[in-house]
Structure 1
Amino acid sequence: MSTDTTLRIALVVGSVRDRRIAGALADWLVTELDGYEGIRLDRIDLAEVDLPLPFARPDGTGSAIAHRLAAADGFLILTPEYNHSFPAAVKNAIDWHYGEWAYKPVGFVGYGGSGGIRAIEHLRAVFPELRATTVREAVLLALPWTRLGADGRYRPADGERGALTATVTELLWWARTLRAGRAATEQAGRAGRGADDGAVGDGGSADGAA
């Protein structure tokens, strides 16, 4: 088992529209997350990923990001809210993969007129089907376009940094816990396979004696 204690967190940017503020929000998240020790952040922008709907495979075959999702210990999904739900691009990325999400935690940063809360609630119903755990805390960025500075940078409202801290703290707790669980399961599986190999050898010897 690896002794590396660094947690790999994938920041999935869910908007693929040409005119979007997701880039500025993702930049803000990256800056904030840089202050956490012991994590390695991988920014996955779905606007830069080709996942054609007709070729979707639930096992990630042909996906350019499958290996990056598989390497992650947890996920932070940045999602806008469109018509009371999350974007089709996010659902497509979810459905292209399966095992990459399993037994890992997922946190959410939503944005929109109401902070993306309905998009997040819909996502909470999706991820358990993939055996992923969604964290209780979430970040809701309401009307974020009103807080973009002249330089294009996002200026968080009161309480948003605190919400992010609470969300990330919970996400990292689950990431450590579930990584240990996955490692223990993998180790037990290897031990079981070794025992099976030994049993086959013993059986061969007994047959020879008969």
Structure 2
Amino acid sequence: MKIPKMCLMCGISAILCLKRQGKDLESLYSLSPEIRDFWEKIRRKFIIKPSVKVYISDSHVLSYNIARDIGCTSVYLFDAHADLGYGGLASLNFELNCANWLGKLLKDEIVKKASIIYSPYTAEKPQDFKGINAAYNVEYITWESIPEGIEVAAIHICRSGAWTPPWYDAKFLKFVRDSGLSNLEFIDFMLRKWDIRNISLSQQINYMLA
């Protein structure tokens, strides 16, 4: 968990520095255009019944419990991070966390296969997980190579608040609604109110850490 912690510290420094320079933090971020047709592309590949349960949370670690409790045999992950465990096979001996949940699903033989569809903005490479790739059934695929007709047992949409600026929370909820699904359950999810005119710098930092 040292890498995310270091990144968060960099984020705090950036807020303080930009504040002193009078710069607008929000202008440094933009949403990927992929969100516009994400659900349309999903429905071309996956069969999603209206009754399918959709879980919304801040942490991806919940995916482990969802897959275990529902009895999933495979996972399709759309993310900039593989969450297979950072540090080789030894990282799967650590306690369950947001960085190793997918690797632990494989290690604990809860799922048989993990398919990872990376964001175009990822800094990771499949070879970063050489040991885990050799030990378990992990594939790195593109949208085009996803087979059609995959029946979905559950969907987990994770905000990852430490990586997602709070001023995008409303658009995140719109993204959830755009799925067209109604069987939603929010777990440990807090909507962050970003109003820099009425909150202090310390509150801004806390929101960035939420």
TM-score w.r.t. structure 2 length?
0.34
Structure holding more helix per residue: 1
> Using CA pairs below 8 Å that are at least 6 residues apart, which structure has the higher relative contact order?
2
**Which one has a bigger Cα radius of gyration?**
1
TM-score w.r.t. structure 1 length?
0.34
